[in-house]
Amino acid sequence: MNMTKTAILLAAMTALFMGIGFMIGGEAGAAIAFLIAAGMNVFAYWNSDKMVLRMHGAREVTERDAPNFVRLVQRLAENANLPMPRTYIIETAQPNAFATGRNPENAAVAATTGLLNMLTPEELAGVMAHELAHIKNRDTLTMTVTATLAGAISMLANFAFFFGNNRNNAGGLIGTLAIMILAPMAAALVQMAISRTREYSADQLGAEICGRPMWLASALQRIENGASRIDNDAAERNPATAHMFIINPLHAHKRDSLFSTHPATINRVAKLKAMAGMSSKEGPWG
């Protein structure tokens, strides 16, 4: 059901992209927009991990550089029956993490220095298990394609205002203005819906991978508290990638709170507590 919902939402985002193309150049503009969207998706498929990691200044580490972190990820990957992903560290004080890559064989996980310094080993295990769950669920490609399309829709909507030559059609200038304002909002709503669906699923599977739902629940509360107080400059410069993080990294600008790309942490924690209450056996870390 989640995959069907995600496919429908991605189709809606592509249709929105084509609609803006129509406002710019009529039927030909819509066709060109469709080709651009297809080309962007192909590009994102092959380059999603490199794009996002570069945006956030991530540095790849090995067991020699960060032995505890890399060994932790390796152990969790074994629990999840996944190939060992590449591991990265991002130099920022804000505690956060994300996963990226087109498939489990070409995946990467990244944690901030703030996360590594702030969390206990158990909480860190919960967070990285969550990120591995995104990889196992193949969310990483979907989330990166969504970020690419959302950013392109905002750019194209502004382009429509200055260069749209189809204003004589129904709606005219008013229609163009409406597209310029509403299209990015609609894209953000679709992005939000996709992210929220995937976050709940990754929380559940992540708790199963590490075996202790409360490790992740405790980590989410600690991360939210830190992320709300500490800026993440790279994320603020690239807000379309915010939904990839385990907790929304944006808070420095008022616009950041207009649309939340993540479920409320209190709701996520409640679901994890319910999982912990239903579990009657020790997990693989017990």
| CA separation for the pair 9, 15 (Å, rounded) | 10
| CA separation for the pair 198, 260 (Å, rounded) | 14
Q: Which of 187, 181, 220 is CA-nearest to residue 203?
A: 220
SS3 40: helix
| CA separation for the pair 80, 102 (Å, rounded) | 18
The catalytic site residues sit at 131
Structure tokens at 264: 């409320």
Amino acid at residue number 194:
I
Give yes or no for a contact between 101 and 49, defined as CB atoms under 8 angstroms apart: yes
Q: Which of 251, 223, 214 is CA-nearest to residue 112?
A: 223
Residue by residue, DSSP assigns 113-147 as HHHHHHS-HHHHHHHHHHHHHHHHTTHHHHHHHHH
HEC string of 169-191 equals CCCHHHHHHHHHHHHHHHHHHHH
| CA separation for the pair 252, 207 (Å, rounded) | 30
